Structure 1
Amino acid sequence: MQRVTRDKISYVFDRRLEPVLRIAAGEVFEIETEDARTGQTRTPETCRADYVIALRSKGPYYGNPVTGPIHVAGAEPGDTLAVSIRDMECDTQGFAGYWPFVYHLQDWFHEPVTELVEICNGEVHYTLQTARGPHILRIPTRPMIGCIGTAPHLEVPTAGTAGRFGGNLDVPEVAPGSIVYLPVAVPGALLYLGDCHPYQGDGEVSGCEMRAVVTASVDVLKNWTKTQNAPRIETPTHLVTVGAASPAENAQWQAIREMIVWLEERYGWSKAEARIFLTLVGDLRPGQMQVSPYTMRLIVPKERLPQQPE
């Protein structure tokens, strides 16, 4: 099995970079990912606010590295890349924290905070130091990939942004057992992924980051759709579409529009039928809420859908 190591990283989704791995459609491969600060806050000393501020001075987009690009044989513009997340191996250590000078609530938070977390026996261990004493959290891991996308044709977005190509989605459904559908804009697709989390709730309001090893495979879908304008995700139990925009209200409507189109294509429904259906069974949930563009996702349970035609 081919494996790409975590030193093969980028901070942008760039079509001009030389591929770090070349795979065939259907081939199973492994990707090592770096944490969101490129492994530079892994000791108590490197979690200090002054150290983290110095890291920030290296550049506004020094964080959120993605491994790649990965070239997929046979992928051409207009195709769809179906990325199957088969497994994720969590590192034994990660960190939780935030940058107050980038994100919201700056009137409350004036210095960066970084806390180490332990990941062991399938749990995230974190001790919250409160005014009433320590509060120990032990949360079962639910690993996910925060950032996944293909290289756009023209622009070179940073790994901290999101759009039609994918990017910094930060939605828990990008996880083992899911298929992520991404539009192909350049030959070979040039897939990037990283920013893995051991656990995240509905909405990223600060980061809980880790290194990981992701096992995946990729299929190239020809003529699957001609109208995809946002990432689509299929879990064992749900269909998910992800919008990315600012304000978040616009991201919400992107996700709704994409789901209507998906239902129209998949089941032959009219747009009106799909919209009424979504009123009854669709769930709108936040994704990445720290920096613009924000992400919102629309989730539909498969049990409420008709059997897909053969």
Structure 2
Amino acid sequence: MKRILREHTTAVFSAQAEPVLSVSPGETFMIETEDSRGGRTRKPEQCTPDALHRMRQEGYAGNPVVGPVFVEGAEPGDTLAVQIQEMACDTQGYYGYWPFEQHLQDLIEEPVTRLVKIVDDKVKYSFQAGGKTHELVLPVAPVIGTIGTAPQEEVVYTYHTGTHGGNLDVPEIGPGCTIYLPVAVEGALLSLGDCHARQGDGELCAVEMRSEVKLSVQVLKNWTKQQQWLRAETDEELLTIACDRPLESAQWLAIREMISWLEERQGWTKSEAREFLSIASDVKPGQSLAGPYSMRVLVPKKLLP
């Protein structure tokens, strides 16, 4: 099986990037990912406020992705179906935040980073609160936080989002999910990274980790003429994802995308799709820290006739 090592990181989605791997449609391959700080906070001494301030002052390429992958036969106008088969969690992760990033500057004075154990498919964390030590054990729920193809012309930093994908932080994008990405350049140039052992809606924070992602891709010709944003599906749900600022703008873009998908998939009118969504869908935030923010619409497949 072909594999990309995590040393092949980049901080941008770009049509000018040199591919590090070429795959055929249907071929299974592996991508090793680095954590969102490039492995710079893996030891306790690297997680103190002083060490974090130094890291910030020295500068580092945050939110790295691995790739790009050249997909044979992918041409502008096609759709790339990325099938996420498996994600292996590292034995350690971390969560962390900076005061100026969280809209909570009046509450948080120093940067915080805590190391977290990942053992037996569980996230295990000890923390001090109220003068006591507490133990928190939660099951892993792996997520690919950042995934996308190369835009046609612009170079997009991996912290950001757009119609190409990017820093979506959508919890459903994990094992068993297929995400449909637009192809804007020959070969699509797929990259991914920023994997999480766990993450909630809105990504107040996540358990960042290294991972090994097993996946395959398919090139879809003339799959859709209406797709403006991103589509994905699991065994249980259809999802549409859109990105904008403010959040409510992203919400309505994602709703419009789901209406278009139901038109194509179900043969409904826009009005019929809108009526169905009013009683059968959920709208949830993905990433709300570094705009354009992401919102998603979810429809249970069992409710579709």
Q: What does residue 94 of structure 1 align with? A: 93
String of CA shifts for 1:45-67, please: whole Å, max 9, x gaps: 000112112222344x7210000
Answer yes or no: is the 8 Å Cα contact 2:199–2:205 preserved in 1: no
Runs of 4+, deviation exceeding 3 Å:
none
User: Residues 38, 236 of structure 1: CA spacing in aligned structure 2 closer, same or farther, 3 A cutoff?
Assistant: same
**Rounded Cα–Cα distance in structure 2 between residues aligned with 1:208 and 1:254:** 28
Greater Cα offset, 244-253 or 95-104: 95-104
**Rounded Cα–Cα distance in structure 1 between residues aligned with 2:72 and 2:288:** 35
Q: What does residue 236 of structure 1 align with? A: 235
* Aligned-partner residue type, residue 36 of structure 1: S
1:289 offset after TM fit, Å?
A: 1.3
Q: What does residue 282 of structure 1 align with? A: 281
* Aligned-partner residue type, residue 287 of structure 1: G
String of CA shifts for 1:197-256, please: whole Å, max 9, x gaps: 001112201232000000000000000012211111100100001111110001101110
Answer yes or no: is the 8 Å Cα contact 1:78–1:226 preserved in 2: no
* Aligned-partner residue type, residue 168 of structure 1: N
1:154 offset after TM fit, Å?
A: 1.2
For the aligned residue pairs, the C-alpha RMSD in angstroms reads 1.0
The SS at the match of 2:109 is coil
Report percent identity of matched pairs. Answer: 56
Answer yes or no: is the 8 Å Cα contact 1:252–1:296 preserved in 2: yes
String of CA shifts for 1:12-61, please: whole Å, max 9, x gaps: 101101101100011000000000000010011000112112222344x7
**Rounded Cα–Cα distance in structure 1 between residues aligned with 2:159 and 2:183:** 20
**Rounded Cα–Cα distance in structure 2 between residues aligned with 1:247 and 1:176:** 30
**Rounded Cα–Cα distance in structure 1 between residues aligned with 2:11 and 2:116:** 24
Answer yes or no: is the 8 Å Cα contact 1:85–1:177 preserved in 2: yes
Q: What does residue 20 of structure 2 align with? A: 20
Q: What does residue 160 of structure 2 align with? A: 161
* Aligned-partner residue type, residue 48 of structure 1: T
Q: Are positions 1:185 and 2:184 aligned together?
A: yes
For structure 2, list consecutive stretches of 5 or more residues without a partner in the other structure.
Answer: none
Q: What does residue 212 of structure 1 align with? A: 211
Q: What does residue 83 of structure 2 align with? A: 84
**Rounded Cα–Cα distance in structure 2 between residues aligned with 1:89 and 1:157:** 28
Q: What does residue 52 of structure 1 align with? A: 52
**Rounded Cα–Cα distance in structure 2 between residues aligned with 1:54 and 1:232:** 40
Greater Cα offset, 195-204 or 179-188: 195-204
Q: What does residue 7 of structure 1 align with? A: 7
How many matched pairs?
A: 305
1:301 offset after TM fit, Å?
A: 0.1
1:102 offset after TM fit, Å?
A: 2.5
Q: What does residue 113 of structure 1 align with? A: 112
**Rounded Cα–Cα distance in structure 2 between residues aligned with 1:190 and 1:300:** 29
1:193 offset after TM fit, Å?
A: 0.3
**Rounded Cα–Cα distance in structure 2 between residues aligned with 1:104 and 1:299:** 27
For structure 1, list consecutive stretches of 5 or more residues without a partner in the other structure.
Answer: none
1:132 offset after TM fit, Å?
A: 3.4
The SS at the match of 1:196 is strand
Q: Are positions 1:62 and 2:61 aligned together?
A: yes
Answer yes or no: is the 8 Å Cα contact 2:198–2:206 preserved in 1: no
TM-score by length of 1: 0.96
Answer yes or no: is the 8 Å Cα contact 2:285–2:294 preserved in 1: yes
Answer yes or no: is the 8 Å Cα contact 2:200–2:206 preserved in 1: no
The SS at the match of 2:157 is coil
* Aligned-partner residue type, residue 44 of structure 1: P
**Rounded Cα–Cα distance in structure 1 between residues aligned with 2:197 and 2:128:** 21
TM-score by length of 2: 0.98
The SS at the match of 2:262 is helix
* Aligned-partner residue type, residue 268 of structure 2: W
* Aligned-partner residue type, residue 252 of structure 1: Q
1:110 offset after TM fit, Å?
A: 1.9
1:269 offset after TM fit, Å?
A: 0.6
